Chains A and B, each alone.
Chain A
Amino acid sequence: MEISIQHSDIYALAFHHRFQWEEAQQSYVILFPEGMVKLHGGAGEVIKRVDGKASVGDIVADLKTNFPDAVGIEADIIGMFEMAYGKAWIRKV
């Protein structure tokens, strides 16, 4: 799927999907009918901020402030959005 993520875009978690911290996995997960994905560190931090209100730009800025040492973080964040959208874990609002 051809998608291009814009800074002004706003995303929310897809319907029937749930995002939560899993103690037993020590990671964030997305749950949906008959499946789950485990999100490692950075990926979890991105999806945690996807709330149907914050724009991609807001999230990038927020993560940059929270993780000042991470280099090239913006490309990773956009990559994460592309993938999450491609897999239909998130929807555009």
Chain B
Amino acid sequence: MTQTSLGESVVQKELHAQAQNNGVAANLTQTQPLWLLAEVTYRCPLHCAFCYNPTDYDKHTQNELTTEQWIQALRDARKMGAIQLGISGGEPLLRDDIEDIVIEARKLGYYSNLITSGVGLTEKRIQAFKEGGLDHIQLSMHDITEEINNFITNTKTFELKKKVAAMIKNHGYPMVLNVVIHRYNIGHMKEILEMAEALGADYIELANTQYYGWSLVNRSQLMPLKEQIDEAERITNEFREKVGSKMKIFFVVPDYFGDRPKKCMNGWGEVFMIVTANGDVLPCHSARVLPNMAFPNVREKGLEYAWKESPAFNKYRGTAWMKGPCVTCPEKMNDLGGCRCQAFLLTGDAESADPVCSLSPHHHLIEKAIEDSKNPVIANQPIIFRTDKNSKKYAAGDKERIEEFHALP
């Protein structure tokens, strides 16, 4: 699944709005895992080049949690205050117990969301989900270039997507689309939006690729130019005016082109808790890239320990871990220093400021990445797709293309 398929942008906006909403909603309770993301499997029939799954995901496809273990995790998290549940992957529908998970989620009072590519969604399954109390389905558009071609030429896979979209609507679900934007489709913004309209989308989230996992490996090839993003945003605004309130469009601006980082996951260990296919508990999707960190696993001490006591969750909570320029920065509460994974992946130091920040001494790395993406020699290197074979290579320590991003300052 794509990173923003979590709906981070929307959540963050809402959380933010809450904080300002005097009278009605006050501040969030600090550090409560309101959001549980269950990445139930890393298996996936697709091979997206922008997948944020770990490049060595193949290691984790053999030891998935059982149904009982997932149900226990749901119960424990609920006790701790989790309320929004995302069921994601890989492709969650590759597991045949999603029905059981959905039923339990409803019983426990979660607001549950299935994040799927639609591959494997049948009439029988969706009916079971509806009866079980699944609240919401988010359809992710993958291999979007192909989808668009299909849309334009009106061929088979588009028909399939249309069928899935209709199924979702027929069961009374809102039609929520998530599309990952990158260089290969950003020129087709208008077609993408038209496709969403044709699918009857109520919401569409246009998420510019963020660079972790597979997408970082392919960064130079995927990153669009600033001008392309501006143009895409212009087209989006135009379209928004045309469709009015019928379709809500969210355009998530990529952080590389800003001068302040995002408050990653709304703060490390503040509101998000991710349980991965093999039971690792993470504060953010890509946290496993960080060095010298042992992440807790539900099979060992359980979720409460993971959230409250584990060294990993406490390490980057708040601001105590910061150093310059963040530690004395008047804006530090706005972004909490940005993303730890991005800081580490690009600077080699997990405690440095997110290099997206123009105050970071490593900001030139972002400028360089933008330059590289304009360099035809680099940008034309072949894309490395998320396949089991490539993943085995990474798991075995073959880092030919990853190494360069660890370059120390």
Instruction: State the A residues within 8 Å of B (CB).
Output: 15-16, 18, 20, 22, 24-25, 29, 31-40, 43, 80, 83
Contact = CB atoms under 8 A, between A and B. Distances in A.
Going nearest first, the 3 A-B pairs with the smallest beta carbon separation are A24-B81, A34-B7, A35-B14
A29 B84 CA distance: 12
B74 interface: no
B340 interface: no
Given A16-B174, A24-B32, A24-B80, A33 B26 contact: no
A20 to B, nearest CB: 6
Given A18-B135, A34-B14, A80 B24 contact: yes
Contacts of B176: 33
Contacts of A31: 83-84, 111, 135
Contact of B83 (A15, A29, A33, A43): A29
A37 B203 contact: no
A22 B81 contact: yes
Contacts of A15: 174
Contact of A40 (B23, B79, B83): B23
Contact of B7 (A25, A29, A33, A37): A33
B26 A38 contact: yes
Nearest to B24: A43
Interface in B128-179: 135-136, 138, 173-174, 176
B25 A40 contact: yes
Contacts of B18: 37-38
B329 interface: no
Nearest to B34: A36
A70 B32 CA distance: 32
A22 B25 CA distance: 14
A39 B174 contact: no
A16 B138 CA distance: 13
A20 B108 CA distance: 12
B314 interface: no
Interface in B72-92: 79-81, 83-84
Nearest to A39: B24
Contact of B135 (A16, A22, A35): A16
Contacts of A29: 83
B294 interface: no
Contacts of A24: 29, 32, 79-81, 83
Contacts of A18: 111, 135
B113 interface: yes
B81 A40 contact: no
B11 interface: yes
Nearest to B81: A24
A35 B11 contact: yes
Interface string B1-45: 000000100110111001001011110110010100000000000
A24 B82 CA distance: 9
A24 to B, nearest CB: 3
B109 interface: yes
Contacts of B29: 24-25
26 contacts: A15-B174, A16-B135, A16-B136, A24-B29, A24-B32, A24-B80, A24-B81, A24-B83, A29-B83, A33-B113, A33-B135, A33-B138, A33-B203, A34-B7, A34-B113, A36-B14, A36-B83, A36-B84, A37-B21, A37-B24, A37-B25, A38-B25, A38-B28, A39-B25, A40-B26, A80-B24
B81 A36 contact: no
Contacts of B21: 37
Contacts of A20: 109
A62 B85 CA distance: 35
A34 B174 contact: no
Give the one of B15, B79, B111, B135 with max A CB within 10 A: B111
A32 B18 CA distance: 14
